[in-house]
Amino acid sequence: MVKTGLIVPLRLCFFMWVVFAIEYFLRIDLGYLGIYPRHISGLVGVVMAPLLHGNFNHIASNSVPLLVLGGTLFFFYRRIAFRVFLQSYFFTNILVWFFGRPFYHIGASGLIYALASFLVFYGFFSRDFKTVIVSFATIFFYGSMAYGLFSFDSRVSWESHLLGAVVGAVTAYMISKQNRNN
């Protein structure tokens, strides 16, 4: 069960590390494939940005939470996990393209914030025992991520963090509402 919950997050991490290795060993910078807001050429970043990382610390700090939060999503919410994952990936990046500052936004942190936000808010909106426990566990282990919503480092895409959190919360609300109506 745990292994199957990790398949999608592991695959994404694998591709992130492959892209990072290509950049490192070929000494190239693919950052220009990130999200550049409100420019047609920056739309490629909607797909590519989560695969791109600026340095080893950046990719390492994105890999562990992606595996833990993504694994939690796919383990506990198999029926809706793929939908949540895709919405978190694409909607976050599309919103960054519309509302981000004009520089290249790279990294998987927007997706990570969306997953964490979904796991927290889904419990509050659904209010069943299992989802509330998952919510509190997420808050316990990843609650400090809230400090990253507004970074004072101009190189950090706080827009990805904030918009990812919004996407996660809205997704949690919409899915819990659908479940109540069915």
61: domain CATH number? 1.20.1540.10
pLDDT digits (tens, 9 = 90+) for 73-119: 999 999 999 999 999 999 999 999 999 999 999 999 999 999 999 99
Q: What is the mean pLDDT of residues 152-171?
A: 92
DSSP-derived letter for residue 38 is T
pLDDT over 90 at 42, yes or no: yes
Q: Which residues pair with 35 in a beta bridge?
A: 105
Q: What is the pLDDT of residue 40?
A: 97
Average pLDDT of the chain is 94
130 pLDDT band, cuts 50/70/90, is: very high
Query: Please, is 150 exposed, middle or buried when counting C-beta atoms within 10 Å of its C-beta (0-12, 13-18, 19+)?
Result: exposed
φ/ψ of residue 35, rounded to 5: -80, 120
Q: What is the pLDDT of residue 182?
A: 67
pLDDT digits (tens, 9 = 90+) for 4-24: 778 999 999 999 999 999 999
Task: Give the count of domains, the chain.
Answer: 1
Q: In Å, what is the CA distance from 76 to each residue of 79, 119, 129, 174?
A: 9, 10, 12, 18
pLDDT over 70 at 3, yes or no: no
Q: Which range of residues forms the domain containing residue 82?
A: 2-181
Q: Which two tokens stand for residue 174?
A: 């919409």
